[in-house]
Amino acid sequence: MIWTDDNKYLFDLNGYIVIKNYFDQKKISRMSSTLKYLETLNEYPYPVTHGKPRTQEELYLSNIAEYDSDYKSIICDPGILEVIDKTTMGYYRFNHSYSISHWAGGSTHLHMGGYPIHPKATYQVKNGDIFSSLTKAVIPLDNHNVEDGCFCVVPGSHKANFDNRYNLGNPSDHPAIQSLPAQPGDLIIFTEALQHGGLNNISNNARRTAYYCYSVGSMPDWGSLHLHCSQDLYKSEDDLLRETVRLKIG
């Protein structure tokens, strides 16, 4: 059980929660080895594809959840779905997934935040109920120390009501940036409305991360960066998987 009263409070206060040692280490090790293998390829089995052109600093792969059974099993992970259920009032679907491999010099600029309002990523609380229209699970696979360019956030920014001059800038320039160093097996869940990014990788290590993204049930596949769910997921024989992915329009 992840969604305790304490974690509910912290999620609303900060915009994220961290669950230490959540995943089985053997599974995470296999997922890391798989991503290392994919880094050696130029083409990938459908629907995995480049979300962005590959550079010396970064490899962004869209739809990583459909690569193999280890990655696919995360879609319906019970702990993740528990949090998603509680932050969407039960009205959610799995929307997309991707992985990022960052090498020296790689980083992710700050983006999102409570203002200006993003039509796909909003956050509100009413009568004790949290509603996050897009919520993500961050799964560290390798090297998530500060010098590796770990995930970072501006706590509380999902509720901001002021324009943010640091948006789309270097995370290190923000006076309230908080780094979230983590180990393989840890789990970070945050509302996409939170301002977040990735610090500059100044180590000689490859930072590897998988991201699983859940939206309000009526939101179609993200679409940009070639992010989508294949028909194999929509037509899966697994009832829970099919229901988790299903677009809920009625």
Phi, psi dihedrals of residue 186, rounded to the nearest 5°: -80, 165
Identify the pLDDT of residue 118. 87
Q: Please provide residue 99's backbone torsions phi and psi, each rounded to the nearest 5 degrees.
A: -125, 155
pLDDT at residue 100 tops 90 = yes
- Please determine, for residue 250, whether its predicted confidence score (pLDDT) is greater than 80: no
For residue 163, the model assigns a pLDDT of 81
CA–CA separation, 61 and 177 (whole Å): 26
Quick one: pLDDT at residue 6? 97
Residue 182: per-residue pLDDT: 98
The whole-number pLDDT of residue 235 equals 97
pLDDT higher than 90, residue 114: no
Helix, strand, coil shares, percent, the chain, to 5: 25, 30, 45
What does the pLDDT read at residue 210?
98
Closest alpha carbon to 248 in 42, 37, 78, 95:
95
**pLDDT per position as a tens digit, 183-203:** 999 999 999 999 999 999 999
* pLDDT for position 162: 86
The SS3 assignment for 14 reads helix
Kindly report the average pLDDT of the chain as a whole number: 96
pLDDT at 219: 96
- Percentage with pLDDT > 70 across the chain: 100
pLDDT at res. 116 = 83
- Dist CA 50 CA 69 (whole Å): 20
Instruction: Say what the pTM is.
Output: 0.96
At residue 219's C-alpha, the angle toward residues 214 and 221, to 5°, is: 75
Q: In this model, does residue 72 exceed pLDDT 90?
A: yes
Q: Which band of pLDDT confidence, cut at 50, 70 and 90, is reported for residue 119?
A: confident
